[in-house]
Amino acid sequence: MTDWGIPNWLDQRAYGDTKRWPEYRWRWEFIRRRQDCREDFLAHKDGTVRFYEEVYANRKGRILRPDEPGFVAKVPGCYERYGLANLPNPAIGDQPFYIIMFRKRGPSLLMGPEDGTNSRFKTTEAVVIFDLTAPIGDQVKGARELLKLQQEDKLGHIVHPGKKHPTKWLTYLRTLDAKESGASLTQIATDVLSWTKGHARTDPAQWARDTVNQAEALCFKWPN
């Protein structure tokens, strides 16, 4: 059984000085607790080592091993799934910052006038054409309004940036680790959420269940 480097959820101090963690470290901590992340790493780490051994066979220096901070596995679709170019070992939380620098999704030039469009776009994507001979500012403002109309038309609502609640992130990590360790919802409510009799939340199990759901959601969708 793989040791995934999960701290003792009963002891908040076991997580270290989380007040000094930058946001990308928090995001990595949630992602590395995902089962698909762990499975992807295990499936591709050995192949990555063989690849580097062949590429750097005639060069000086040593190759990082999978159990070392900074090693990354080449995982197909890694960016789309995790927001990272390559996948670090999810058993290691304290990775070099340059390894877990998540890239934000930005605009990209998908086509020129000579390109076709039939197979280029998903149903939830839209293309805005800009006139390079006109001022940019007004066009960007107009594009924003056009995209809002498209969102309302195709999605039924405008997508707003997600709210971040960093003061809850350590609680969420402890909740995930408690669940992985087999703790009951009542234990989570008592030992992580500090529930006691007379608390305003009269159903500790439901409170814990809600917290688990919120924590698991953060593993898969980080607020922009």
pLDDT per position as a tens digit, 70-112: 999 999 999 889 999 899 999 999 999 889 988 765 554 444 4
- Last residue within a domain, chosen from 160, 179, 203: 160
Statement to judge: residues 126 and 78 lie in one domain: no
- Last residue within a domain, chosen from 160, 178, 203: 160
Statement to judge: residues 31 and 47 lie in one domain: yes
Statement to judge: residues 35 and 86 lie in one domain: yes
Give the other-Cβ count within 10 Å of 92's Cβ.
18
| Domain-embedded: residue 215 | yes
The answer to whether 174 and 192 have CB atoms below 8 angstroms apart is yes
Statement to judge: residues 94 and 121 lie in one domain: no
List Cα–Cα distances, 47 to 53, 55, 66, 95, 161, in angstroms: 10, 12, 11, 21, 38
- Rounded mean pLDDT, 179-196: 96
| Domain-embedded: residue 1 | no
The answer to whether 73 and 91 have CB atoms below 8 angstroms apart is no
Statement to judge: residues 125 and 191 lie in one domain: no
User: What is the pLDDT, as a whole number, of residue 118?
Assistant: 56
Statement to judge: residues 30 and 99 lie in one domain: yes
For residue 39, the Cα-to-chain-centroid distance in whole angstroms is: 15
Statement to judge: residues 156 and 167 lie in one domain: no
Statement to judge: residues 89 and 149 lie in one domain: no
Torsion of CA 81, 86, 91, 93, to 10 degrees: -90
| Domain-embedded: residue 58 | yes
The answer to whether 178 and 193 have CB atoms below 8 angstroms apart is no
pLDDT tens-digit map of 188-212: 999 999 999 888 889 999 999 999 9
Q: Which residue has the higher pLDDT, 117 or 14?
A: 14
| Domain-embedded: residue 59 | yes
| Domain-embedded: residue 3 | no
**What is the amino acid identity at position 120?**
R
Statement to judge: residues 141 and 84 lie in one domain: no
| Domain-embedded: residue 5 | no
Give the total residue count for the chain.
224
For residue 201, the Cα-to-chain-centroid distance in whole angstroms is: 30
Q: What are phi and psi of 72, to 5 degrees?
A: -130, 140
**Neighbouring-strand partners of residue 72:** 88
- Overall number of domains in the chain: 2
Would the pLDDT of 177 be above 60?
Answer: yes
Statement to judge: residues 33 and 77 lie in one domain: yes
- Which domain range does residue 123 map to? 107-160
Q: What span, in angstroms and rounded, lies between the C-alpha atoms of 6 and 163?
A: 26
Statement to judge: residues 178 and 142 lie in one domain: no
